[in-house]
Structure 1
Amino acid sequence: MEFRCSPSTLSDWSGDTLAVGLFSGTASATTMAALDARFGAGISQRLEQRRFKAKAGECLKLELLGQTPGTLLLIGLGEPAGFGLEGVRRAAATAAKAGGGPGAGSLGIALPVEGLEPVAAATAIAEAVRLSLFSDQRFKSEAEPKPVPTFVELLGLAEGAAAGLSAVAAICSGVELARELVAAPPNVVTPQALADTAAAIAQTFNLELKVLERADCAELGMGSYLAVAQGSDLPPKFIHLTYRPTGPVNRRLALVGKGLTFDSGGYNLKTAGSQIEMMKYDMGGSGAVLGAMRAIAELKPAGLEVHMIVAACDNMISGGAIHPGAIVTASNGKTIEINNTDAEGRLTLADALVYASKLEPDAVVDLATLTGACLIALGEEIAGLWSPNDGLAAALVGAAEQGGEALWRMPLRPSYREGLKSGLADMKNTGPRPGGSITAALFLQDFVGQDIPWAHLDIAGTVWSDKGRGMDPAGATGFGVRTLVNWVLAGGAA
């Protein structure tokens, strides 16, 4: 699929399918007049007959026999007040999904982007089109490929806006990789499979890869991570992938992703109603950082060294699985009383964050499907953000908005640490139920080196969508890739 910015308008564009955005009420009177002038007054009459009100998300498809374009898509935008990049993304995704099908060739999209930064508008439209058309057919015995347009032209955007298209392919490829990893069943995406994915990225883009085996991790004192891994027959894989620029390094960044390829809960077994069958997506953080590294490696940002770290393993039940109540020692010497084996992600991240801190990065960002509490607090469209560093938090929120992802900064209240106190060890791995996502973030903070800017993103609610939303089809969303890539491309500010 090729994207182009075109100075053409809906009055003179020539192609197969034309998608036009319309506001409700009389706000799009000028646009309707242009449509009537080109296609005849019958267009307005057909809208009245079909009771098209241009509500947000509404779509009307009209076949225009003997005319070019042969198909006209009218996309409802709702009220003009508050219409911005998010509205543009949703409208573009609607147009893309309606504009496919047999005979899909060229698609022209005319949306009201006046007042929006042209490069940002072009990026939003192109990403929304490509990502909304993603279809995972890998596990079907008979694939059902969906036709997609060959060319997509963004009408009314000058050539200067085309700068926004330069990174779209790389970023979308990263999102699609993350979606495929998260969606795949746990018998396919294993710790070894994540290591193999990192190896493929390293080979394709000439990155450095180090994979630590169980013995290597034991030598480094990663007792917290290995405690989670010890119940599984599948060996753990500690993955360290590095991008280095060709020139001097101005900043060093670390991206850490939770890599639980399946989470049974351990001896605190997940029960009925806990969606144990969906715990394949507990490696959503690792999917996000692998997808981000794939995009970063292709885009080759100057002056930035980027490290990706994933402590991959399964959390299973066996005779060798860790007991509730066991005390383990992390690689920074802290002792942890495991009062809940289903709070395993933070145990793996603890040693991963210690490892990342030893690289002396200028900033560390971790992503994890960490707590159900975050899902309850923020729902399925907003991820939680915890950071003691205002600059890093603001940079990540801006990067998320740029990519159509949503973050909400949450508190790191020091007094909540009381809930993590243990009578036997330095700390417990879980606190009381109230404020569970906050105590989880406070737990992780203890494993980040002092004075290193750090942020934790809890993506438990955003990594999967049962029904699909906007540019995300039903299933794995690839959430976090766009945020991370945009943050890195902006210099990894902290």
Structure 2
Amino acid sequence: MTVEHTEFLTPQAVTWENLDTGSWDALVVVGPEFSELPEDFQAAIAAAKATDASVGEQVSVVACDKAPGGRLILAPTGPLDRDYDDVRRFYDAARDAVTRIAQTGAKQPVLMATQVPAGEAWSNALGLSFLGFQQGRYEPLEAREHFGKDVESFTAIGVLGDTELSWLDAVEQGRRVARDICGTEPERMSPMKAAEYCKQAFAGTDVKVTVFNDRLELQHEYPLLSAVARASFAVEQQRPCVVRLEYDGEGPITDSLFLVGKGITYDTGGADLKTGGHMAGMSRDKGGAAGVAGFIKAVAGVRPKGLRVVAELAFVRNNIGSLAFVADEIITGRSGVRVRIGNTDAEGRLVLADSLAKLKDEAVTATNPSLYTVATLTGHAALAKGPYSALVPNGPALKTGIAQRIIDAGEAWGDAAEISISRREDFDFVRGRTKADDVLSSNNGPSATTARGHQFPMAFLVLVSGLDQHGQSAEKPLPYTHIDIAGSGVEGGDWQHGKPSAAPVLALAGGFLR
């Protein structure tokens, strides 16, 4: 099946001089107020406000002869002078205006930002207005395949102002891939269908796609992943796979990024079954793999020189069944570390660990390497950080400033994250309890009620991958950052119905593709 993921709405540059040419049919203005617009526009706003005092206070449609299509649409951000206001106000205002814009019948609107506060923190206001608009107009893959691409209402988007449209377009294409993979229901985006989606998404790009799905190979190379997948191997459409994505930029390589994404296409909890309605939304447990795939799609569009990027997406369904793995099992990972299973609903760290061990070995000989895991891993991250990604870096990632680089890029591009420090208690928490095991995967309680519930899984990943041998004092330190997007991966924290946010594509793109 050919998926409808190639119908991107590429932005077109517009100036005041050519605003009234072509087929543009609305001007959408995003800002805290609108007093700096040209006089003809201000006159139209004043006339509208004389009969409706709410004009400019909420999304408003103003009849204006000088606007394309006679439509001037105001998308207010609200005040921007409070300590807690940031550039996301422009993203949110543009996103939230989409429904009203579509109701006017406009098909080819032009976006602009006005009265942007001075300072570097606000420099991406126009770009984020465009990205917010794209977030608002996005419809799920299933809807596009059922209704056709016209379900997304608009046929063109213009951007009035100075911003780097080609970069924005590349990143938005990545975000769209991330939303598709994360948000699509579990049968339509089963492991092998996710692999097929990736093949189509990267066709014709510089990214090499390799799919590992042979059972014997998976059991040998990814034993922890294969344990999670044990009850799904026998069901053809639910068989696991690992999708490897590789990009080598033009010229000598100066930096190497290695990323692993958690792609649990459905998480029943396994033998530790999710009950009480907590299984709904678990088709989005592949948001980490989605975010990594989206970032690589952005890489493919930007085509940065001197950069090598390698990613593995671990697509698995955590099934319940007579063959399902269970707590108390001891499974030896790729690295040779013996893992005692504490709870089968802590499966995400298992499917990440083997790929991380593999990429760690590759990173040892790479140029200026850094490693990342991205996952919808713990309810504790959502509880502790709310709608923000939680970054848990190791010592080298803190020392080299890589973790801070992602934090700064996330602030600049409205994909905010916060750092959590890895502590000795986290490593003590997962230590082996007997001579039969080296590491414990988890306790048997919910992460949200466990102290340091999103930090100790990073310690587990460090130990099981062998990254503990590459800390600050090692001969070859390897910067590693675990990114938990359980709180940031969907809008409003609604994992069943919320629109995928494509986190952390913007933070990674801002950090490494600028």
Letter in 2 for 1:20: V
Matched with 1:418 is 428
Paired with 2:423 and 2:128, the residues of 1 have a C-alpha distance of 36
Decide which moves more: 355-364 or 428-437.
428-437
Matched, 1:306 2:312: no
Matched, 1:427 2:439: yes
Matched with 1:387 is 393
Cα displacement (A) at 1:282:
0.8
Asked if 2 retains the 8 angstrom alpha-carbon contact of 1:100 and 1:149, the reply is no
Paired with 2:431 and 2:157, the residues of 1 have a C-alpha distance of 59
Q: Do the aligned partners of residues 484 and 3 (structure 1) sit closer, same or farther apart at CA in structure 2, a change above 3 Å counting?
A: same
Matched with 2:503 is 479
CA RMSD of aligned residues (A): 2.8
Residues 267-308 of structure 1, C-alpha deviations (whole Å, 9 max, x = no match): 10000131x131111111111111111221122110011001
Q: Do the aligned partners of residues 279 and 302 (structure 1) sit closer, same or farther apart at CA in structure 2, a change above 3 Å counting?
A: same
Q: Do the aligned partners of residues 13 and 202 (structure 1) sit closer, same or farther apart at CA in structure 2, a change above 3 Å counting?
A: closer
2:26 to 17, 24, 49: 17
Within 5 Å, which residues of 2 pair with 1:223-302?
A: 223-232=223-232, 233=234, 234-274=238-278, 276-302=279-305
2:380 to 349, 373, 381: 373
Matched, 1:130 2:134: yes
Paired with 2:46 and 2:172, the residues of 1 have a C-alpha distance of 37
Q: Do the aligned partners of residues 76 and 340 (structure 1) sit closer, same or farther apart at CA in structure 2, a change above 3 Å counting?
A: same
Paired with 1:53 and 1:141, the residues of 2 have a C-alpha distance of 37
Letter in 2 for 1:353: L
Within 5 Å, which residues of 2 pair with 1:74-223?
A: 74-82=74-82, 84-101=86-103, 102-116=105-119, 120-136=124-140, 138-139=142-143, 141-142=146-147, 145-148=151-154, 150-154=156-160, 157=161, 161-162=162-163, 164-212=164-212, 213-220=214-221, 222-223=222-223
Cα displacement (A) at 1:224:
1.7
Asked if 2 retains the 8 angstrom alpha-carbon contact of 1:5 and 1:122, the reply is no
Cα displacement (A) at 1:136:
2.3
Q: Do the aligned partners of residues 65 and 386 (structure 1) sit closer, same or farther apart at CA in structure 2, a change above 3 Å counting?
A: same
Number of residues paired by the alignment?
467
Cα displacement (A) at 1:386:
0.3
Q: Do the aligned partners of residues 346 and 167 (structure 1) sit closer, same or farther apart at CA in structure 2, a change above 3 Å counting?
A: same
Asked if 1 retains the 8 angstrom alpha-carbon contact of 2:265 and 2:315, the reply is yes
Paired with 2:260 and 2:151, the residues of 1 have a C-alpha distance of 34
Asked if 2 retains the 8 angstrom alpha-carbon contact of 1:185 and 1:280, the reply is yes
Residues 135-184 of structure 1, C-alpha deviations (whole Å, 9 max, x = no match): 22634754572422624232xx3xxx34x212112211111111111111
Asked if 2 retains the 8 angstrom alpha-carbon contact of 1:330 and 1:336, the reply is yes
Gaps of 5+ in 2: 1-8, 471-476
Residues 192-244 of structure 1, C-alpha deviations (whole Å, 9 max, x = no match): 12222333345321432333332123333x32221111111333212221111
2:491 to 465, 469, 479: 465
Asked if 1 retains the 8 angstrom alpha-carbon contact of 2:389 and 2:485, the reply is yes
Decide which moves more: 211-220 or 15-24.
15-24
Decide which moves more: 39-48 or 75-84.
39-48
Paired with 1:114 and 1:409, the residues of 2 have a C-alpha distance of 27
Paired with 2:330 and 2:384, the residues of 1 have a C-alpha distance of 30
Paired with 2:505 and 2:44, the residues of 1 have a C-alpha distance of 45
Letter in 2 for 1:217: L
Q: Do the aligned partners of residues 62 and 229 (structure 1) sit closer, same or farther apart at CA in structure 2, a change above 3 Å counting?
A: same
Cα displacement (A) at 1:325:
0.8
Letter in 2 for 1:480: P
Q: Do the aligned partners of residues 287 and 247 (structure 1) sit closer, same or farther apart at CA in structure 2, a change above 3 Å counting?
A: same
